[in-house]
Amino acid sequence: MPSSRRSRRARRPRLTIFLLVLASITIITLDYRGDARGAISGLRRVAHDAFAPVQSAVDDVVRPAGSFLGGALHAGAIEQQNTELRAENGLLRRQALQAGSDVQTLHALEQLESLPWAAAIPSDQSIPTIAGEVVAFNSSDFAATVQLDVGRNQGVDVGMPVVGGAGLIGSVIEAWSSGCTVRLVTDASSAVGVRYGQPGNYALLDGAGSGRSLVLEDVAPGTPMRRGEVLSTSGLEGALFPPGIPVAKVTSYSSTPSSVEESVSAQPVADMAGLQYVAVMEWEPSTTEPSP
């Protein structure tokens, strides 16, 4: 007997589903023929109530997908709105700064408009700049990059130098319509050709990772050095950066009788941890085979 009862219970849901499907088919047929409209209205309500839980479950699955597709279709318009909003925010921020709400940041922006070290660059007047704000940091043991809120729409391109009021910050390694990624001079992949000493020696300044000292390569043992000496971009033909941009200051140097080169460490002149506003220089190397 118990087995027979369980069998009947198992058949009930199947029978209910069968009757609902049959009723739906009947309603559709009558509705198509135009017969018994009053009865159909009542039956339709019953059918809706019966299938409401199923429909709700389907809607819960379909609705997010629909929202995603709708968002994808309007992505272009949203990006344009974001660009316009960023421009408006920049204008409002500048007005607030001029009103005296943040004197330090205003000073940084004024430095970008008239770079203190720009006189050392012979062709400064022919190198326009694009001001941008740092919107994201990406640092790890060896990588050190930032993202700016200016991109190809403003004239930014891969390879362009990025500077601040104190000096060189890095170079653009990726650019898209409304932003770009900048590799900082502290990045382990960074290598900048620099000049130091009098009348002028040339060496390669390598990054070692965020928070680590820069390393000056190819310095012969016994070469006169001094702590605090400024290393500036070399500006050799085909170099990745124009000449005369301050990059780093020497912090230590040493050598042994068996050394093949001097061990020299330096720190960036720019505060890499406190970057906010920077300038992208619209400058390209003069040859197709650049050196650092």
Per-residue pLDDT tens digits for 5-16: 555 555 555 666
Q: Are strands 161-163 and 191-196 parallel, antiparallel or unpaired?
A: unpaired
Structure confidence at residue 249 (pLDDT) = 96
Average pLDDT over residues 122-136: 80
Structure confidence at residue 88 (pLDDT) = 64
Tokens 């005296």 label which residue?
100
CA 8 to chain centre: 64
Structure confidence at residue 230 (pLDDT) = 94
Q: How far is CA 149 from CA 102, 153, 159, 185, 213, in A?
A: 20, 11, 17, 19, 28
Average pLDDT over residues 187-203: 90
Q: How far apart are CA 144 and CA 209, in angstroms?
A: 6
Q: How far is CA 136 from CA 202, 213, 285, in A?
A: 33, 22, 27
Structure confidence at residue 33 (pLDDT) = 47
Check if the beta carbon of residue 124 is closer than 8 Å to that of residue 113.
Answer: no
Q: Quote the mean pLDDT of the chain.
A: 75
Q: How far apart are CA 146 and CA 137, in angstroms?
A: 5
* DSSP H or E stretch at residue 264: strand 263-268
Structure confidence at residue 286 (pLDDT) = 64
Model confidence pLDDT, tens digit, residues 245-267 = 999 999 999 887 778 889 999 99
**Residue 184 confidence (pLDDT) above 90:** yes
Q: How far apart are CA 227 and CA 196, in angstroms?
A: 12
Structure confidence at residue 116 (pLDDT) = 73
Helices 103-113/75-98 angle, 10° precision? 110
Structure confidence at residue 67 (pLDDT) = 45
* DSSP H or E stretch at residue 184: strand 179-184
Tokens 């992505």 label which residue?
75
Between the ranges 169-173, 216-220, 280-284, where is the mean pLDDT highest?
Answer: 169-173
Structure confidence at residue 137 (pLDDT) = 93
Check if the beta carbon of residue 189 is closer than 8 Å to that of residue 232.
Answer: no
More confident residue, 122 or 149: 149
Q: Which domains does the chain have, with CATH numbers?
A: 2-73 (no CATH), 114-285 (2.40.10.340)
Model confidence pLDDT, tens digit, residues 34-85 = 444 444 444 444 444 444 444 344 444 434 444 444 444 555 666 666 666 6
Backbone conformation region of residue 211, classed left if phi is above 0, alpha if psi is from -120 to 50, else beta: left
Identify the band that residue 141 occupies on the pLDDT scale cut at 50, 70 and 90.
confident
